[in-house]
Structure 1
């Protein structure tokens, strides 16, 4: 009999599938923007405004979902998110004007910005520091790998159907798949799953067992035991410099990701004259390389560098900058250089996801990951919203020809900020001492009350 696959990896795969389906809408919307803008009469500025509104409301939704996740449980928030996603995806097929488009993008951002934090929160509790980066990398494939195949599928489908709207209607119906998977397979915590083995529980709580926070076999009240009566307050996050550094890293990563999602398809169409189907294939190159870079980086972060997250985050930004500059300087369809630029950007630009997304759970505790990561992601998306407007404003039109170079230089400048921020990230014992003291004080108070 073969070795049993740990249930935590089954959950990780299910969350990846569910998130991938939810991510289809953003990929379709971006890659079909040339068709949508032509049909609705949208300008480049309107596309930038739509992205701005989506991200502007998506950001606060991250923070709200983080608070709700820590309070009510990740599974409940995920179910709401999936239902909202299906409704909002179908709505896009009924949009017929600029105003409707902008309203839909804003409401979509707020309602659907509830999927990431609960998904990541579940992974942070089922995995310890030996596997967190890889688990997060697998989840990150939802927004890295999905565009690689969805961009091809959406453009091919729309081209053959001669209608971009049907793509949204059919995709909306796929929401039943993640809904059923979350309801029947996913559990917030290993002790809440009746079939969890001793190995599952000991692996999930290995960090807490090693630190003496909880004892082997005593998992029923693990959350209360870990937090005690003195939970980490929101302002305590900002006393940790690594948390603040991760905040800036996330902002740069979101700016880079949405720079690729929004502007690469338009860049290939406007500058290189690619037709719809050809543009979809070339856009996929960035994301296919990104999937390889993300998992490679996370494996090295977990196994080779033993949880030192800073190394691969720095590698991400330092390696990314030259390829962004290369893309900015391309003025004609030199396919070999274009392929190099897109693959290089994808490979290095997605290396940091797994390592940096694991940091808040390791400098604090998975029990407050929702609130901690919710604020970081919320800030990241909010700033990314304004970056979309900035990029759009930097696009120069001369004689009907669009020049995107200044937009790419803007993203390269942001990457330099990412390098500086990454240098401050540490997850060693000295960096987490303040948090451990807070939690220890809470547990001591709990024990005193029990014994009195």
Structure 2
């Protein structure tokens, strides 16, 4: 058993638990999108009302993401992630007991406040457990849980709702999260010195030992570049999560059962594609490219496919819609996977969780505005404007990536 949990092996067990946690993190957040028609009928909601429910989640998510990033840097990944998983699991269970719009909104808000703990903690773990030549691959295997969760959610939630009721879907999935919290507590350990030194070997000495103060961090151009990138690019992925399942039912004519059968396809394609693009960027590093430049080249390439979403209103049926959004989802998830690695390579390790937390908050804030826009337009003759707007977002992110983001190190040791 001791041999099995040597540091070189333990780090992959840690990745496995993070992967499982992120899977159910995404399943829990997607319950409402899959059950959109059912919940709209039960709670007497229109699209604006539905947009309000998901924006309660998203606003709480946006506000707490920077806070949880700071908490991870301050208190460590083990503690913050443990309590985060516990809280979001309780919130999911609570959603199953909601009997009014206000109660459902409260529990979705609590879910949104707790779920951001996962990603700053995950990035911190990858930054301190893995060297640069493995970092993008390890990160992609962790974050692949997001798309696996999106793959699992349609058939799993639909099966629970059809065979039992919508309340059961919330309660069962929340209970699974409680088990994951215990598993995390048992498996995670901080890295020993030799593993930490290997992970930090490709960083400048100052970046490995010091970090920016909170005030200094906000003065860096790279931080603002990352924030703007997440603000403009994240809404496309949020659309895939929160609006695509309902769009397939209400606009493309699929039933809840059919969404359960086919709605996972874009997320599976996205997962496989994003792992592949992450591995490609690691291969570029092995060929001699500077790590940050390798990530930029890959992200620029996949962003060329994101504008295909503009075709959605003109496609003849659900099969072609699924095909186009499978390609778009690869671009979205590649950016979500690798922009975290960009953070780890552009900032000192002492700041990576804080930067990712702030960036995630800005990404969610962008989604809040976009959700409100979609809620007011979806189902009207102007719905094509949604997809036209999305087509421009990743190209703008590419411009920001090349002009604003570079490796950033502090000029002096931070005492904060």
Query: Do structure 1's residue 408 and structure 2's residue 387 form an aligned pair?
Result: yes
Q: Which segments of 5 or more consecutive residues in structure 2 lack a partner in the other structure?
A: none
Deviation for aligned residue 1:213: 5.5
Deviation for aligned residue 1:185: 0.8
1:59 is matched with 62
SS at match of 1:115: helix
Match of 2:299 among 301, 306, 313: 313
Q: Distance in 2 between matches of 1:381 and 1:256?
A: 11
Aligned residues: 406
1:142 is matched with 145
Query: Do structure 1's residue 104 and structure 2's residue 107 form an aligned pair?
Result: yes
Match of 1:206 among 198, 201, 205: 201
Q: Distance in 2 between matches of 1:345 and 1:18?
A: 25
Q: Distance in 2 between matches of 1:426 and 1:110?
A: 28
Q: Distance in 1 between matches of 2:342 and 2:313?
A: 32
SS at match of 1:236: helix
Q: Distance in 2 between matches of 1:361 and 1:325?
A: 32
Match of 1:157 among 160, 165, 170: 160
Deviation for aligned residue 1:363: 1.9
Per-residue Cα deviation, 1:80-122 (whole angstroms, up to 9, x for no partner): 1111112101111111222222233223222333222122211
Q: Which segments of 5 or more consecutive residues in structure 1 lack a partner in the other structure?
A: 215-222, 444-452
Q: Distance in 2 between matches of 1:212 and 1:70?
A: 19
Q: Distance in 2 between matches of 1:184 and 1:142?
A: 20
Contact 1:55-1:384 within 8 A present in 2 as well: yes
Larger radius of gyration: 1
For residues 3-402 of structure 1, what are the structure 2 equivalents within 5 Å?
Answer: 6-161=9-164, 163-187=165-189, 189-191=190-192, 198=194, 200-208=195-203, 211-212=204-205, 226-227=209-210, 231-305=211-285, 306=289, 307=291, 308=293, 309-322=295-308, 324-330=309-315, 332-333=316-317, 335=319, 337-397=320-380
Q: Distance in 2 between matches of 1:178 and 1:270?
A: 34
Deviation for aligned residue 1:310: 0.8
Deviation for aligned residue 1:170: 1.3
Q: CA separation of 1:40/1:107 partners in 2, compared to 1, >3 Å: closer, same or farther? A: same
Contact 1:61-1:113 within 8 A present in 2 as well: yes
SS at match of 2:133: coil
Q: Give the structure-1-normalised TM-score.
A: 0.83
Q: CA separation of 1:406/1:122 partners in 2, compared to 1, >3 Å: closer, same or farther? A: same
Deviation for aligned residue 1:64: 0.8
Per-residue Cα deviation, 1:371-396 (whole angstroms, up to 9, x for no partner): 12111111111221121111111224
Q: Give the structure-2-normalised TM-score.
A: 0.90
Contact 1:310-1:426 within 8 A present in 2 as well: no
Q: CA separation of 1:155/1:404 partners in 2, compared to 1, >3 Å: closer, same or farther? A: farther
1:449 is matched with none
Per-residue Cα deviation, 1:217-265 (whole angstroms, up to 9, x for no partner): xxxxxx8xx12xxx41234334443332222222233201110111111
